[in-house]
């Protein structure tokens, strides 16, 4: 066996678009890149590890004859270096012919708020001025850190790779490597990988390299992969719980914070509780959890958080008294995008409120709820009158921009 | 080109006599002007009933051209801490009135949002500087004003405006603006405004931005507020056990129409009595609606609270079907 052979994940990486997994997502990405024009959105491709996100960018670039300028988590990603690398690539069109570049910023959810100071903001700046399509990858598109990015992104979801698909690919690799493996063993490797194709290939390589046949004993090498429980499993554990303690413990394993967990549970209650009494009781528990959260926010009384958790997990789970637990497909919380306002957004709303207050004798809060919506509507249906109103309020450039943007929605 | 300003300001009454529907209050305030004397006042009442306007008119008539120097308007929602009371308010209150005015006036709007500490501090300031300064506290709920302050004030309760009074004002404004408003449109605005003149006028202005003729359709279109039918439809879905559809509708109302949870729950409350339900159930549903209304004011997420309410409607629907 050659000594310097590349790992199988690279050696057997797909070369053509039709070899990629997650076909739907790949086609969306392909279409995004082909139709992209300066000023357009950015693609945020997201999904669990090993679902073909990064590789698909390279394969598509190769097929289209584009160059990929990549930054990943191993680079330092503070504002300066992002602007230096991606920024310069973003600004200049390729000198050589018409073919362009794709800027790939890998694992944006790994950009640290502290070490990579200004990193996310720099990414947004690059996005604004880019002359080349930008593709971001992330495991979790719903990370609160990314909320300001999400609004300028086209989201493309990469799903866990199906077991049958993993088996098919493992089989092909075995064939190329000249290894004999029983379907049963491949199935076990695939199952253990839990939708992560890369880890399946790594596992296969670990037990099969240099062998011609693999036996069940070889499988003992395969340690159960230890993962942070992802949100879907946590939800399943919570909803399946028949004891309060188990539901509460399950919540503790989640890799999301309590706000997100609340939204996930909210989104998925009706899928588990079809019985009207169970539904009403589950929602009553969630509603009371929310009341605790309100008190926590108002009074900064974090002692109350554990009661909120009790209600949103055990309270919801134990509402299921008559029907049996069944497996359901979990949905992403749909309100997240709308609800999370960024700090900048809140600041600008406040300054708008201050200006309205000066003119209309109301509090900032009431200015925002009672006046701003009408100002926005007037700007939408009649920009010339709207313009004059904006002048009367003496809004500055940023404030006007915000209102105009709102009125285009 | 003519200036365009918010009609609530353009048509805000300048003199006490123009204030709509608060005859008794206006009569007493006018006597304050005549006698050039007044007690501390507490104006309480729902939004858009003329409280701030009354304070502004009173000050204008009393002070005339020295109004700027003798009148200060503060919004307690924005400056509700004790510091503001100790500094800004005190500074203004303790110095002598200008230009021969009998006293100064401080209007503290949304005073019910002041912290209890700030209210205690205010109470002393009120006492100490009574000779140079009178206070007008404006609030929605007088119950949130501490008793010692209430006892130092003459309390004026502003009644919700009657629909016909709002309608009259809207027609008058339409006339000034040279626009035509159908009766349907007026009714639609009244439905939306719920006795709040400010909201009624803002709605009229937004509708007028679309064209010179305003009908009900225009009103709903520009305000983007829920049509009554949509709330009703949402409740019917829930009662029929189609919870997911009802929840989708709710989200549409919240996101696309930009309705607040409070708006929606008020509409739900009104719709309950239009629904084809056994009478006893209407009362029960009003009760759970009230509970959720309360929780919205305590809670953090309107969408969750309203979903919980829809789940209660779904439960009610199934129990009614089973004859419970």
State the pLDDT at residue A226.
42
Q: Which of B100, B131, B157 is the last residue of a domain?
A: B157
**Cβ within 8 Å, pair A385-B113:** no
State the pLDDT at residue B178.
94
Q: Which residues of chain B lie closer than 8 angstroms to A391, CB-CB?
A: 3
Asked if residue B139 and residue B94 are part of one domain, the reply reads yes
Look at the block and give the residue holding tokens 């190769």: A62
| Contact partners, residue A174, CB within 8 Å, separation at least 6 | A180, A181, A186, A204, A208
User: Rounded mean pLDDT of A278-282?
Assistant: 96
**Cβ within 8 Å, pair A361-B73:** yes
- Give the total number of structural domains in chain B: 3
Asked if residue B15 and residue B106 are part of one domain, the reply reads yes
Q: Which of B195, B223, B251 is the last residue of a domain?
A: B223
Q: Which of B223, B249, B268 is the last residue of a domain?
A: B223
State the pLDDT at residue A1.
41
* A275 pLDDT more than 80: yes
* A180 pLDDT more than 90: no
Contact by Cβ (8 Å): B106, B72:
yes
DSSP type of residue B115: -
Asked if residue B37 and residue B84 are part of one domain, the reply reads yes
Separation CA A248–CA A305 (nearest Å): 12
Asked if residue B131 and residue B15 are part of one domain, the reply reads yes
Asked if residue B208 and residue B317 are part of one domain, the reply reads no
CB contact A325 to B (< 8 Å): no
Asked if residue B181 and residue B71 are part of one domain, the reply reads no
**Cβ within 8 Å, pair B299-A359:** no
Q: What are B271's two structure tokens?
A: 């719709």
Q: What are A407's two structure tokens?
A: 């009125």
State the pLDDT at residue A224.
45
Q: Which of A359, A369, A377 sits opposite B224 (nearest CB)?
A: A377
Q: Label residue B205 by pLDDT band (50, 70, 90).
A: very high
Residue B133 CB burial class (10 angstroms; 0-12, 13-18, ≥19): buried
Q: Which residues of chain A lie closer than 8 angstroms to B300, CB-CB?
A: 290, 293-294, 296-297
* B211 pLDDT more than 90: no
Separation CA A107–CA A295 (nearest Å): 36
- Rounded CA Rg of chain B: 23
Name which of B128, B93, B95 is nearest B108 in CA terms: B93
Q: Which residues of chain A lie closer than 8 angstroms to B311, CB-CB?
A: 276, 279-280, 282-284
| Contact partners, residue B262, CB within 8 Å, separation at least 6 | B293, B296
Contact by Cβ (8 Å): A374, B206:
yes
Name which of A371, A339, A276 is nearest B261 in CA terms: A339
User: Rounded mean pLDDT of B63-75?
Assistant: 91
- B207 to chain A: closest CA residue: A378
Q: Which residues of chain B lie closer than 8 angstroms to A386, CB-CB?
A: 209
Asked if residue B198 and residue B275 are part of one domain, the reply reads no
At residue A327, what are phi and psi to the nearest 5 degrees? -75, 135
CB contact A363 to B (< 8 Å): yes
Q: Label residue A82 by pLDDT band (50, 70, 90).
A: low
Q: Which of A362, A365, A374 sits opposite B206 (nearest CB)?
A: A374
Q: Which residues of chain B lie closer than 8 angstroms to A336, CB-CB?
A: none
**Cβ within 8 Å, pair B315-A280:** yes
Separation CA B219–CA A374 (nearest Å): 12
* B33 pLDDT more than 60: yes
State the pLDDT at residue A335.
53
Q: Label residue A124 by pLDDT band (50, 70, 90).
A: confident
Give per-residue pLDDT as tens, B261-300: 877 898 899 899 989 999 999 999 999 999 999 998 777 7
User: Domain of B238: which CATH number?
Assistant: 1.20.272.10
Asked if residue B8 and residue B77 are part of one domain, the reply reads yes
User: Domain of B111: which CATH number?
Assistant: 3.40.50.300
Separation CA A316–CA A281 (nearest Å): 7
State the pLDDT at residue A323.
85
Distance from CA of A151 to the nearest CA of B (A): 15
Name which of A213, A219, A205 is nearest A180 in CA terms: A213
Interface of A with B in 154-213 (CB under 8 A): none
Contact by Cβ (8 Å): B67, B59:
yes
User: Rounded mean pLDDT of A196-208?
Assistant: 82
A vs B: CB pairs below 8 A: 145
Helix and strand totals (H; E) in chain A: 22, 5
Asked if residue B281 and residue B137 are part of one domain, the reply reads no
Give per-residue pLDDT as tens, A313-369: 999 999 998 888 888 878 777 654 444 455 677 788 889 999 999 899 888 878 887
Contact by Cβ (8 Å): B313, B239:
yes
User: Rounded mean pLDDT of A129-140?
Assistant: 86
* A220 pLDDT more than 60: no
Q: Label residue A308 by pLDDT band (50, 70, 90).
A: very high
Q: Label residue A97 by pLDDT band (50, 70, 90).
A: very low
Asked if residue B239 and residue B216 are part of one domain, the reply reads no
Contact by Cβ (8 Å): B245, B268:
no
User: Domain of B192: which CATH number?
Assistant: 1.10.8.60
State the pLDDT at residue A228.
44
CB contact A267 to B (< 8 Å): no
| Contact partners, residue B83, CB within 8 Å, separation at least 6 | none
* B106 pLDDT more than 80: yes
Q: Which residues of chain A lie closer than 8 angstroms to B258, CB-CB?
A: 373
* A311 pLDDT more than 80: yes
- A374 to chain B: closest CA residue: B206
Domain that holds residue B186: 163-223
Look at the block and give the residue holding tokens 């700030």: B118
Interface of A with B in 86-145 (CB under 8 A): none
Q: Which of A47-61, A112-126, A232-246, B37-51 has the lowest mean pLDDT?
A: A112-126
Asked if residue B126 and residue B260 are part of one domain, the reply reads no
Separation CA A55–CA A14 (nearest Å): 8
Asked if residue B282 and residue B176 are part of one domain, the reply reads no
């Amino acid at each position: 066996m050659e000594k310097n052979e590349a790992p199988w994940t690279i050696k057997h990486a797909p070369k053509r678009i039709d070899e990629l997994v997650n076909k739907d997502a790949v086609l969306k990405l392909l279409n995004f890149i082909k139709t992209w024009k300066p000023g357009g959105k950015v693609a945020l491709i997201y999904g669990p590890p090993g679902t073909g996100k990064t590789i698909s960018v390279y394969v598509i670039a190769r097929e289209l004859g584009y160059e990929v300028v990549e930054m990943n988590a191993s680079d330092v990603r503070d504002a300066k270096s992002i602007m230096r690398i991606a920024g310069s690539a973003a600004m200049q069109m390729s000198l050589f012919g018409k073919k362009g570049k794709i800027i790939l910023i890998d694992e944006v959810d790994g950009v640290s708020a502290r070490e990579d100071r200004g990193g996310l903001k720099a990414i947004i700046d690059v996005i604004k001025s880019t002359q080349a399509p930008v593709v971001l990858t992330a495991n979790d598109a719903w990370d609160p850190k990314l909320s300001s990015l999400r609004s300028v992104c086209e989201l493309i979801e990469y799903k866990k790779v199906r077991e049958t698909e993993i088996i098919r690919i493992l089989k092909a690799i075995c064939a190329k490597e000249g290894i004999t493996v029983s379907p049963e063993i491949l199935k076990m490797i695939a199952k253990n990988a839990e939708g992560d194709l890369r880890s399946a290939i790594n596992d296969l390589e670990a037990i099969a390299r240099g062998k011609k046949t693999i036996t069940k004993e070889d499988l003992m090498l395969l340690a159960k992969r230890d993962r942070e429980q992802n949100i879907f499993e946590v939800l399943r554990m919570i909803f399946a719980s028949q004891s309060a303690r188990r539901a509460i413990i399950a919540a503790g394993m989640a890799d999301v914070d309590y706000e997100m967990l609340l939204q996930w549970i909210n989104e998925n209650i009706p899928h588990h509780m079809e019985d009207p009494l169970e539904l009403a009781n589950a929602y009553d528990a969630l509603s009371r959890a929310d009341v605790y959260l309100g008190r926590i926010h108002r009074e900064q009384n974090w002692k109350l958080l554990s009661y909120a958790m009790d209600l949103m997990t055990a309270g919801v789970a134990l509402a299921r008294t008559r029907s049996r637990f069944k497996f359901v497909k979990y949905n992403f919380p749909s309100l997240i995008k709308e609800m999370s306002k960024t700090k900048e957004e809140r600041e600008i709303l406040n300054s708008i409120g201050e200006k309205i207050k000066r003119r209309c004798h109301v509090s900032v809060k009431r200015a925002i709820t009672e006046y701003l919506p009408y100002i926005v509507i007037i700007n939408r249906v009649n920009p010339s009158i709207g313009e004059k109103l904006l002048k009367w309020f003496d809004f500055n450039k940023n404030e006007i921009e915000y209102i105009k943007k709102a009125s285009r929605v | 080109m003519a200036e365009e300003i918010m009609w609530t300001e353009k048509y805000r009454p300048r003199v006490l006599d123009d204030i709509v529907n608060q005859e008794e209050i206006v009569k007493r305030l006018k006597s304050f002007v005549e006698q050039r004397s007044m007690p501390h006042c507490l104006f309480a009442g729902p939004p858009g009933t003329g409280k701030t306007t009354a304070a502004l008119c009173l000050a204008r008539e009393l002070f005339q051209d020295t109004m700027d120097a003798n009148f200060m308007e503060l919004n307690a929602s924005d400056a509700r801490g004790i510091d503001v009371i100790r500094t800004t308010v005190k500074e203004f209150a303790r110095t002598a009135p200008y230009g021969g005015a009998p006293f100064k006036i401080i209007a503290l709007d949304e005073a019910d949002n002041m912290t209890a500490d700030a209210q205690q501090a205010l109470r002393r300031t009120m006492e100490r500087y009574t000779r140079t300064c009178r206070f007008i506290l404006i609030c929605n709920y007088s119950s949130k004003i501490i008793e010692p302050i209430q006892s130092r004030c003459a309390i004026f309760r502003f009644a919700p405006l009657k629909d016909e009074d709002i309608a009259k004002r809207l027609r008058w404004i339409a006339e000034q603006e040279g626009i035509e408003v159908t009766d349907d449109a007026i009714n639609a605005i009244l439905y939306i405004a719920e006795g709040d003149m400010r909201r009624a006028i803002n709605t009229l202005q937004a509708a007028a931005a679309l064209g010179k003729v305003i009908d009900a359709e225009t009103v709903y279109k520009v305000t983007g507020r829920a049509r009554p039918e949509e709330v009703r439809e949402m409740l019917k879905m829930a009662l029929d056990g189609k919870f997911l559809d009802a929840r989708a509708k709710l989200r549409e109302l919240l996101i696309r129409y930009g309705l607040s949870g409070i708006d929606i729950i008020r509409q739900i409350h009104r719709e309950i009595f239009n629904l084809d339900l056994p009478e006893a159930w209407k009362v029960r549903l009003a009760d759970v609606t009230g509970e959720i209304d309360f929780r919205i004011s305590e809670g953090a997420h309107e969408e969750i609270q309203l979903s919980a309410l829809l789940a209660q409607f779904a439960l009610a629907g199934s129990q009614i079907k089973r004859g419970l």
